[in-house]
Structure 1
Amino acid sequence: MSIKSSLFFFFLVPLLFKTSFPAFLAPITKDLAKTKYSLSIYLKTPPQHTNLVLDLGASFTLLDCSNYTSSTYRTIPCGSSLCTSLGSSCTLCSGSSGPGCSNNSCALLLGKSRKLVTGEAGFDSLYLHVTNGRNPGRLGVIPEFMFSCTLLKGLVKGASGLTGFGRSTLSLPAQVSNFSSENLIFTLCLSGSPSAPGVAFFGIDGPYYFHPEIDLSKHFNYTPLIMLNQVGSRTISYTDSSNEYFIGLTSIKVNGKAIEFDRTLLSTTKNGFGGTKLSTMTPYTVLQTTIFNALTEAFVKEELARFNLTVTTPVKPFKVCYEAKDILSTHVGPSVPTIDLVLHDEDVVWRIFGSNSMVRVFREGTDHLWCLGFLDGGLKPRTSIVIGGHQMEDNLLQFDLGSKRLGFTSSVLVHGTMCANFNFTMQDQ
């Protein structure tokens, strides 16, 4: 069964019911062409299967509301107490045209730049499957899910919008948590497979079972999430660095050896400069130039010392590539030097094995390559290190906003499973 048909079956089978059950889940699929991840949910009345690009650091959900039809959609009146609390403006249309542009309705800002537009804020019903951490159960409804209607172009194929998972009261996890009256906690397991989805959990701190009956919640290490000051005005904007997830990296090691660079670049200012953040919208980890140079030089040196391997002509956007035939395969990916992200304590380490450090690249007229999946972000980026989607795949990541900490497992391949191994077989719960 294809991923498209299996997900359709997964969503369609169960009966709907209103619930305060605290734990929910949704599949996450990967678009290989654009290296983005989409959350599969149900939206509107009657419920319609909807794919939304997952934006880990964004404030709220954006929907393309062209041809939008739902019996439960409603706008927020301009001048209402809710609209005022959002610090929002009002939409101005030549005439009421339904979702996306209704006169005298509240609007949400899509960006801080004056060149970016506002989108009409509205409510509709959101449906997610309840879960015990082992299987999906029946659909539960969150009846007043707030989002912004706008016109979106250039999304991944089959996506109807983008959904924000950031530290905002309007993010999808926050609204689900608010409805279920539980602490704000969500967990992501991104799959790199084009045919089998990963999974997002909401409102459950474990267990998380993956085939063959492995509870990955037992393998977490924890590090504090760094909370930034609110950036800009009190107006809620889709993009705001105060809603992104920063962690406190203190050093980087290659094969257990610390690389040398200016460690002050790892410090995060209260308005979001420097430091290390996580992003599902960034395909590969991006490093400030001096950090990138130190990492790649150390990696090449270690690979030369271990296997006498030298780099070959790289393929953009990568700078370090090897002939794939020269690199051995292991259960954790290509056999290459490990990269350790050392966090708040020397013993708290996010270890990156070959499956997450290397990217398989096909070069015309030759055998394929393995390329180091880290990119040069320039000398003066806003954020010194942005951990991208490829480095998060097959890693279970728990964002516990109540405890202000990130739980991480490093590669779950070490434990004999992967993010594509969650069992989506329906169970009554």
Structure 2
Amino acid sequence: MASFTHRFLLFFSCLVCFTNSFPVLGSRSSFALFPVAKDAATLQYVARISHGTPLRSSDLVVDLGGSFLWVDCDSGHVSSSRRLISSCSVNCSRAKSHDLGKKTCLLNTNCYVFPDNGVTGLASTGELVEDAIAVDTVDFVKVGKTTTVDHFFFSCAPAFHLQGLASAANGMVGLGKASVSLPSQLSSSIGHPQRFSLCLSPLNGVVLTGNGDAVFGTKTARSLVYTPLTIKQNDYFIHVKSIKIGGRRLSFHGEGKYLEAKLSTTVAYTKMESPFFATFSKAYAEAAARMNMTRVAAVDPFGLCFSSKGAVGNKMPEIELVLQSEMVKWRIEGENLMVKVNKERICVGVLDGGYEQSSPILIGGLQMEDNLLEFDIGSSMLGFSSSLLFKGTPCSSFLQDSKLKQFI
């Protein structure tokens, strides 16, 4: 547990508020930075916040499509600055703006919301609260100015809602479009555009709101390729026109139609609906055979495994997701594709998602690692870099810049 804790480079920062009556912080800040560690046992991505009075730390699993920042408020000490929100308040209405159900209220009652566990898929009832939270604001003049914010909205959830999360986790932090998600609150409070960047890593990754040029470098940030981003409820989707393996286009039923691909940080590997996976699996095995790879017995949860003896540097057929045109491709290869199971066997990190998957393709954490992804919610566009490993700038390298060492 201690080794996992020491992998964090920064206490998770959050800036807040919904109305102009709340303090607006960091007006000179160009970005807010949140280092993220990967839990080896669950393969989940975990960030840390400091909140409450007195301040205490909580480790939170990152949920790309989550509506709320939610925690188990009953474990540990009780914060003296935590305040319940009335069900008839403006803030309660805004917190429920993404709910499809009735939004009635009763005087003198608390505001109840429904935080999701993005790992198990279960929802529970929790109270909406506001509390003090530690904030690191960042600007070009002074890096790492820390203060305390009194008004940050999040949800309490019962302890059983932690089921399925990393053992150190006390909740989840949502990056969806809901008005109480992390990006939405930051955008409202410090005037950032509705944009955040995600750069996950097997070591130390980054979630960043605002302008990322200063962290990722102008060359990297401005070399992104963009594709339309569809937002349904709080989840983010892109549309895949076709899939290529080793340069050869796969043939799916319903040619000419786009395949919807959901991006998720709460699943470890990309999943495809069974009919698409069957086509993909057959084509990939054939492409690997052309490269003289030897297929071996699969190891759960993988469906495609090969002998590593013939794979020099895990060199295998690459996958290309062709998006709106042949000029816009997301390449998946190398460490973003292959999983080393043991000394003799490597497996393709794409799984059979069954027949009832919510979208034909579910892009998981492994395929997003060491890819810079910019979610521009305001313009409904996703910017992506493909693997930064081949450019010598993995996601973990961005925090090594001397200007950011105050975060370590």
- TM-score, normalization by structure 2: 0.84
Match of residue 344 from structure 1: 324
Counterpart of 2:17 in structure 1 is none
Residue identity opposite 1:150 in structure 2: A
Query: Which of 32, 35, 52 is the matching residue for 2:60?
Result: 52
Deviation at 1:309, TM superposition (A): 1.7
| Cα displacement (A) at 1:88 | 5.2
The reply on whether 1:408 has 2:408 as its aligned counterpart is no
Is 2:61 the partner of 1:76? no
Question: 2:112 corresponds to which residue?
Answer: 107
Structure 1 distance, partners of 2:360, 2:141, is 37
Aligned partner of 2:315 among 326, 335, 346: 335
Distance 1:45 1:422, change over 3 A: farther
Structure-2 change in CA distance of 1:42 and 1:136 (3 Å): farther
- 1:247 equivalent in structure 2: 238
Q: Which amino acid is the alignment partner of residue 312 of structure 1?
A: V
Report the Cα distance in structure 2 between the residues aligned to 1:404 and 1:296, rounded to whole angstroms.
32
Give the corresponding residue for 1:32: 40
**Residue of structure 2 in register with 1:124 after alignment:** 131
CA separation of 1:108/1:33 partners in 2, compared to 1, >3 Å: closer, same or farther?
A: same
Which residue pairs with 2:298 in the alignment? 314
* Residue aligned with 1:426, SS: helix
Paired residue type of 2:265: T
User: 2-side partners of 1:337 and 1:71: how far apart?
Assistant: 57
Identity %: 35
Q: Which moved more, 1:249-258 or 1:59-68?
A: 59-68
Structure-2 change in CA distance of 1:168 and 1:18 (3 Å): closer
Deviation of residue 177 (structure 1)? Answer: 1.2
Partner amino acid, structure 1, of 2:196: F
**1:266 & 1:158 partners in 2: Cα distance?**
43
**Aligned amino acid, residue 227 of structure 1:** I
Residue number in structure 1 paired with 2:278:
293
C-alpha displacement of 1:46: 3.3
Deviations 1:321-369 (CA, angstroms, capped at 9, x unpaired): 112232111xxxx20011000111210000001211111113xxxx342
- State TM-score, norm by structure 1: 0.80
Residue 304 of structure 1 deviates from its aligned partner by 1.1
* Alignment check: 8 A CA contact 2:31 2:212 kept: no
Say whether the 8 Å CA contact 1:207–1:216 is kept in structure 2. no
Matched, 1:275 2:275: no
Q: Output aligned runs, 1:187-202, within 5 Å.
A: 187-193=197-203, 197-202=204-209
Q: Is residue 389 of structure 1 aligned with residue 365 of structure 2?
A: yes
Q: Distance in 2 between matches of 1:381 and 1:264?
A: 20
Write the deviation string for residues 221-266 of structure 1: whole angstroms up to 9, x where unpaired. Answer: 11110133xxxxxxxxxxxxx2100111110001111101124696
Give the drift of 1:296: 1.7
Partner SS for 2:109: coil
Classify 1:338/1:259 alpha carbon distance in 2 versus 1 (closer, same or farther; 3 Å): same
Tell me by how many angstroms 1:144 deviates: 1.6
Residue 192 of structure 2 aligns to a residue whose secondary structure is coil
Shift of 1:124: 1.4
- 1:292 is paired with a residue of what secondary structure? helix
Partners in 1 of 2:234 and 2:255 — Cα distance? 22
- Per the alignment, residue 99 of structure 2 pairs with none
- Determine if contact 1:52/1:162 at 8 Å carries over to the other structure: yes
The worse-fitting range, judged by mean Cα deviation, of 60-69 and 180-189 is 60-69
In structure 2, the residue matched to 1:19 is: 26
Listed as ranges, the gaps of 5+ residues in structure 1 are 92-102, 229-241, 268-273
CA separation of 1:372 and 1:125: change in aligned 2, threshold 3 A: same
Q: Is the contact made by 2:63 and 2:264 (CA closer than 8 Å) also made in structure 1?
A: yes
Alpha carbons 2:175, 2:183 under 8 Å: kept: yes
Q: CA deviation at 1:422?
A: 2.2
Conservation of the 8 A alpha-carbon contact between 1:62 and 1:149: yes
Change (3 A) 1:136 1:378: farther
- CA drift of 1:192 comes to 1.3
Match of 2:251 among 260, 279, 298: 260
Verify: 1:171 aligned to 2:162, yes or no. Answer: no
